[in-house]
Amino acid sequence: MSNENYARPASLAEAMRLLTEAHSTVLGGGTYLVRGHQPRVQQLVDLSGLGLNFLIDEPASVTCGATVTLQELIESSLVGERFGQVLIEAARVTRPSWMLRNMSTLGGELVERSRHSAITAAMLALDAEVTTATLEGKRRFKLDEFYSASPAELTSPLILNEVSLPKREAGERSVFRHLAQLPSREPIAVTAISLLMDGSMIRRARIALGSAVLKPQRLYNLEQTLIGSSSEVHEDHWRDLCISGLRGVEFASDHQHSEGYLREMSEVLIKRAYLGLLDSDG
């Protein structure tokens, strides 16, 4: 690509100006561009010069810059200390290849919102917030609110600037699980669960599902069912809870897996993750 089709701005303001030009798009790690998701791109705006590859330990949260790569998340002692294996496992499932993890950026994964992006499901369950930059200034969203925002609320151009993850509270447990035919294949279903416990009572629940659904999403119905209840749910009762909790969720389908199969596998995966979480130290 010639220099006329590539720009590496040194500031957010310059990046915004470049993105107002026709057929310009953000270049983070480039993995989604390589897969042909942007056929009409005429100019790439490279964000690597904006200094967004940071991980900051703040009093109540960990803040990740948008250009932090999935491999950097895996190798970060801060991420492992604050969130256990949830983000590390999700990053590995999102990109099984070490080479692709070194290219794929956190911001790129979240903006693309691919249903197969396991890191997105993990971020939803950990109550992530994102800060976006537009011509009108910066704005902060809960990640699930960002995904449900209307086009009018998300003015263009837009750059996802950073991601903030609240630190785990005392009594909080979290887990990530996935189901795949082969490690190198996109997962059939992924789930991430975070529970805040008070003894055996569930005070707060965050459950996210990806890959099997049309887009990564929180399972609000199932969360509400669990809040205030005892964690000692009989295993046989979990099928009923999952069926009720997944009501209204739109599942994907393809030439390999039917919608019914994906729904059933999601129920099995969520139950396994939940019961495994209760048996572990979180």
pLDDT tens-digit map of 148-159: 887 777 777 888
Rounded to whole angstroms, the Cα distance separating 278 from 282 reads 8
Residue with the bigger pLDDT between 178 and 45: it is 178
3-state secondary structure of 206: strand
Q: In the structure, what pLDDT confidence band is assigned to residue 19 with cuts at 50, 70 and 90?
A: confident
Does the pLDDT of residue 29 top 60, yes or no? no
Residues contacting 168, CB < 8 A, separation 6+: 82, 83, 174
Does the pLDDT of residue 161 top 50, yes or no? yes
pTM of the model: 0.89
21 within 8 A of 43, measured Cβ to Cβ: yes
Q: Spell out the domain ranges in the chain.
A: 3-44, 55-166, 172-279
Residue with the bigger pLDDT between 225 and 35: it is 225
Which burial class, exposed, middle or buried, applies to 147 when counting CB atoms under 10 A from its CB (0-12, 13-18, 19+)?
Answer: middle
Q: Is 190 left (phi over 0), alpha (psi -120 to 50) or beta?
A: beta
- The fraction of the chain above a pLDDT of 90, given in percent, is 54
pLDDT tens-digit map of 97-129: 999 999 999 999 998 888 999 999 999 999 999
Helices (H) and strands (E) in the chain, counts: 12, 12
* CATH architecture label of 172-279: 2-Layer Sandwich (3.30)
| Class of the CATH-defined domain 55-166 | alpha beta
Q: In the structure, what pLDDT confidence band is assigned to residue 41 with cuts at 50, 70 and 90?
A: low
20 within 8 A of 61, measured Cβ to Cβ: no
